[in-house]
Structure 1
């Protein structure tokens, strides 16, 4: 259903190469990012109390094309349950399959190409056996130059955030399977009959809504989801808000002890997260990146709210089982989560 090779070619072409850096300088950046990720493991462990084995997931310092390829691989794995479900119910054949796979490949490639110039780092939990940490060197260099911040401080700051994600998944072994199970449950709700026609209609309406500035939201996920799908997405949103907010809290908690210019970096980076330009802002809303920014903000507020009242040990109860994960509503109401899980 998706021509992944075409998606990678288009995504890599759209992404471009990023800033031009002399070869020797590029080698030093790569080495520094690897060292920063390695150093961050102990810093995250000491701050959070989460114990993950060293080097359980490889650290890959990649360029934009490498990130596109890695995410195409991850999406192929992640979407496999949905693709299997749809093809089992109504397998595409002949010209429909050939043309359809290229259309979706071009669409996915366009999205990956846009994102490949924005992302600084990412933990891919679905890469066997234990996931992998990706650091996108040209984007990190580009942003540190754009923000005019100390490059060494900024690189360690990024590593702290992304290494926290690695620790989350490797210290909490059930997390990976839980998220995959949620995706599989989402796949069970997919019906091929009228899916494309109905979905396209709602996407068009969503684009009109975004461009007119109306409504509470405008991402593609929000406009194509049925009530059952939205309920599942709410659960995933709660988990992602927790993971992203926790990583932000850790980087801000550890940062002042090892990164002298962390306050300057945080202030300038927060301003950058707002996006620039009309097209950039439109694409961010359509792709749900505005919601992603809200996940950082709301998740961090939840984590701080619990830690302030229950301490880090009380907060860490969240990692004990899937039943302890906050719902989307509880992300905005830490007291409700503590009442349910901690009985406070």
Structure 2
């Protein structure tokens, strides 16, 4: 991953590049940066007092403030009215009724601005970002030399505030970038918004539509169908929302840092020059180490995301394919956008340290299509009844075998499927 993970870019103070008078006349000798910890904290005291209250590892007040300010400067007016969004959603729901056995999942579909998106999704971002920030903040304190801890004393709480500000600043900038790009509340594959509420962002959809050579109303209905399909899945597959978010949390909680690098980092920091802190942090010396447990969590997340996106892809294509002339072109555009990972996915990588990308989207779509063609949509959608029934990464490589298994299991009994999985595991081990 090229981007540094969440929390590694400190915000630039207003006096970046200015020389602190107390740092003049120090002589040519290199002092221990930790001896001047109080001085550094004093320099940033004004920033702390202006950042609002924060009791956790991330200053979410600051994050929201930054995101709202940035979006106020850049957000264009929406091209569609709330009524147009509601009409598109109603039409999409009617078409989807014939393409899946899962009933409508959203009780309403809203027209959001980018600011609305930040406001409504911030609680979920807090759940996803807290584990990363907590691990990183703890690593900093644990790695401080004993003499630095003793000298800092109660000022360590201010170090925590500084970390919360750093994380909050980066989160705010990332949310502003994401808010200016996302098309729907489920655009990055996760259920970020409130339950049972669909949402489209008309201003972003208008920008997305430029150059597609399709009528704006057609693009709006297509995206409304994708949002509605996601909402049906998240609403009527009770375990799915929790499984997706918990897997992201599991990955984030496993972050480890080589704290021995802090000794080398300290030699590069001049407390009288806040810019040196940012330069040292950007050096990459503290990049988290990926553990085997994290790799396993990432593999599970990528497979589950691919299954969700593949199912939505197939269901929406079935629902709108004969009704929207440009459906196939729009479908391919969205497939490439999700599979290749655009700016939104890259921004997410800086927030929680992983790339949120369904790499096997096409394979998953092919699997759902095969199951539906061989056994019908009731069997296909019934696979979501229990987490032990859904395809694995290996099944994506052998979709015909999975389809045959679905056909051989008349009631898709979760217990029977679990026993089959355990038996296969025992055979492989022996």
TM-score class, shorter-chain normalisation, is 0.7 to 0.9
Q: Are 2:160 and 1:97 equivalent residues in the alignment?
A: yes
From 385, 392, 396, give the equivalent of 1:331: 396
Is it true that 1:63 corresponds to 2:113 in the alignment?
yes
Match of 1:42 among 79, 94, 99: 94
Q: Over residues 165-203 of structure 1, what are the superposed CA-to-partner deviations in whole Å (9 max), with x where a residue is unaligned?
A: 000011222322333443554466456884997xx99x9
Q: Residue 152 of structure 1: CA displacement?
A: 0.9
Of Structure 1 and Structure 2, the greater helix share is in 1
Match of 2:123 among 44, 64, 73: 73
Partners of 2:75 and 2:360 in 1: CA distance: 27
Q: Secondary structure at the match of 1:304?
A: helix
Q: Distance in 2 between matches of 1:52 and 1:178?
A: 21
**Are the aligned partners of 1:7 and 1:105 in contact in 2 as well (CA < 8 Å)?**
yes
- Written as runs of structure 1 = structure 2, the 5 A alignment for 1:85-124 is 93-123=156-186
Q: Which residue does the alignment assign to 1:5?
A: 61
Distance in 2 (CA, whole Å) between partners of 1:79 and 1:49 is: 35
CA contact (8 A) 2:63 2:172 kept: yes
Decide which of 289, 307, 310 is 1:245's aligned counterpart. 310
Change (3 A) 1:145 1:186: closer
Taking structure 2 as the reference length, the TM-score comes to 0.61
CA distance in 2, matches of 1:125, 1:99: 30
Which residue does 2:210 correspond to in 1?
Answer: 145
Q: Aligned partners of 1:310 and 1:195: how far apart in 2?
A: 57
Q: Which has the larger radius of gyration?
A: 2
- Choose 12-21 or 61-70, whichever is displaced more: 12-21
Q: CA deviation at 1:300?
A: 1.7
Residue in 2 that maps onto 1:182:
247
> Aligned equivalents of 2:63 and 2:293: distance in 1?
29
Name stretches of at least 5 consecutive residues in structure 1 with no aligned partner: 207-219
CA 318–267 in structure 1, closer or farther in 2 if over 3 Å, else same: closer
Q: What pairs with 1:175-214 in structure 2 (closer than 5 Å)?
A: 175-183=240-248, 185-186=250-251, 189=254, 194=259
**Contact 1:120–1:137 under 8 Å retained in 2:** yes
SS of 1:59's partner is strand
1:232 aligns with 2:284: no
Deviation at 1:73, TM superposition (A): 2.1
Residue in 2 aligned with 1:215? none
CA distance in 1, matches of 2:250, 2:132: 9
Q: Work out whether residues 177 and 347 of structure 2, in 8 Å CA contact, stay in contact via their aligned partners in 1.
A: no
1:76, distance to aligned residue in structure 2 (A): 1.0
Across the two proteins, how many residue pairs are aligned to each other?
317
Alignment match, 2:85 = 33
Structure 1 residue 227: Cα displacement: 0.7
Give TM-score scaled by structure 1 length. Answer: 0.74
**Contact 1:90-1:192 within 8 A present in 2 as well:** no
Indicate conservation of the 8 Å contact 1:147/1:268, yes or no.
Answer: no
- Aligned CA RMSD, in angstroms, stands at 4.1
CA contact (8 A) 1:19 1:141 kept: no
Report the Cα distance in structure 2 between the residues aligned to 1:31 and 1:257, rounded to whole angstroms. 25
Deviation at 1:83, TM superposition (A): 6.3
Greater relative contact order structure (CA < 8 Å, 6+ sep): 2
- The answer on whether the counterparts of 1:275 and 1:281 sit within 8 Å (CA) in structure 2 is no
* CA drift at 1:89: 10
* SS of the residue 2:359 aligns to: helix
Distance in structure 1 (CA, Å) of the matches to 2:243 and 2:340: 32
Determine the C-alpha separation between the residues in 1 that align with 2:260 and 2:377: 45
Secondary structure (helix, strand or coil) at the match of 2:388 reads: helix
Q: Unaligned regions of 5+ residues in structure 2, if any?
A: 1-56, 143-155, 266-279, 410-430
Pairing 1:257–2:322 present: yes
